[in-house]
């Protein structure tokens, strides 16, 4: 599996080796030792999946402590633009974001650490989006940031009038008013120890 850092080094792209022939294809979608080598100790506890049509934007979402989540996300059908925003106050990349196109042909995956807000928009007619989380969903700790906050300046890749939002996501607070994490508490080496069994 090929692993590369994005413009924010804590956010990684995983591209599996795909073996294909006339019958179809096979690839390893997750290998714990690879994640440990490049991130550290991560224990996933929940898998989620959603299906959405073109222009559906889900995000920007995160969970507040003690239910903060990391995510390893990929698309099993279709194409999305996936976005991670660093909301760790004091981080060298605080307030910055990365956007990566994920699709079901390359089977690439994005690692979003704790301390980041996450969202995606569907670029194909429809998409099935799947992700692993290292903490359980906790509705009382659910939080978010406005998808079109000018201080973040995300180019979602499609006209704004084609964006489809939930009522909740349309009302999310702007970055300056949202909950922020402490970089000291959510540094990678602190959250994902490398010396665990």
Please report, for the domain that includes residue 104, its CATH number: 2.60.120.10
Q: Which band of pLDDT confidence, cut at 50, 70 and 90, is reported for residue 153?
A: very high
pLDDT at residue 176 in the model: 96
Query: What mean pLDDT is predicted for residues 24-36?
Result: 92
Mean pLDDT of 138-165: 97
Q: What is the pLDDT of residue 192?
A: 96
Residue 132: Cβ-neighbour burial (10 angstroms; 0-12, 13-18, 19+): buried
The model's pLDDT over 73-111, given as tens digits with 9 standing for 90+, comes to 999 999 999 999 999 999 999 999 999 999 999 999 999
pTM for this prediction = 0.95
Residue 193 falls within a domain, yes or no? Answer: no
Average pLDDT over residues 162-173: 97
Whether residue 197 lies inside any domain: the answer is no
Mean pLDDT of the 159-185 span: 97
- Token duo for residue 48: 């989620």
Report the percentage of the chain scoring pLDDT > 70: 98
- Give the residue from 1, 5, 10, 2 showing the smallest Cα distance to 118: 10
For residue 4, the model assigns a pLDDT of 97
Q: What is the mean pLDDT of the chain?
A: 96
Q: What are the phi and psi torsion angles at 176 (to 5°)?
A: -65, -20
The reply to whether 190 falls in a domain is no
pLDDT value at position 196? 52
Number of domains the chain is built from: 1
Q: Could you tell me the residue range of the domain that residue 127 belongs to? A: 2-182
Q: What is the pLDDT confidence band of residue 194, given thresholds at 50, 70 and 90? A: confident
Distance, in Å, from the CA atom of 120 to the CA atom of 97, rounded to the nearest integer, reads: 12
Instruction: Flag whether 189 is in a domain.
Output: no
Catalytic residues: 61, 131
Cα separation, 2 vs 17, in Å, equals 8
Beta strand 71-77 with 126-133 is antiparallel
Is 49 domain-assigned?
yes
Q: Are 83 and 97 in contact (CB under 8 A)?
A: yes
Percent of the chain, pLDDT > 90?
95
161 pLDDT above the threshold of 60:
yes
């Amino acid at each position: 599996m090929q692993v590369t850092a994005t413009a924010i080094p804590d956010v990684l792209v995983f591209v599996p080796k795909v073996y294909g022939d006339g019958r179809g294809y096979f690839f390893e979608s997750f290998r714990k030792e690879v994640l440990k080598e490049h991130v550290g100790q991560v224990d996933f506890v929940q898998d989620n999946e959603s299906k959405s049509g073109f222009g559906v934007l889900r995000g920007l979402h995160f969970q507040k402590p003690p239910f903060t989540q990391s995510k390893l996300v990929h698309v099993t059908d279709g194409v999305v633009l996936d976005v991670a925003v660093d909301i760790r106050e004091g981080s060298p990349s605080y307030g910055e974001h990365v956007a990566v196109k994920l699709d079901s042909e390359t089977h690439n995956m994005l690692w979003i650490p704790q301390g980041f807000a996450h969202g995606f928009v569907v670029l194909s007619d429809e998409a099935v989006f799947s992700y692993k989380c290292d903490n359980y969903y906790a509705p009382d700790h659910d939080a978010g940031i406005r998808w079109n906050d000018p201080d973040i300046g995300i180019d979602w890749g499609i006209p704004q009038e084609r964006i489809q939002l939930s009522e909740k996501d349309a009302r999310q607070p702007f970055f300056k008013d949202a909950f922020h994490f402490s970089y000291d508490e959510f540094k990678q080496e602190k959250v994902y120890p490398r010396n665990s069994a």
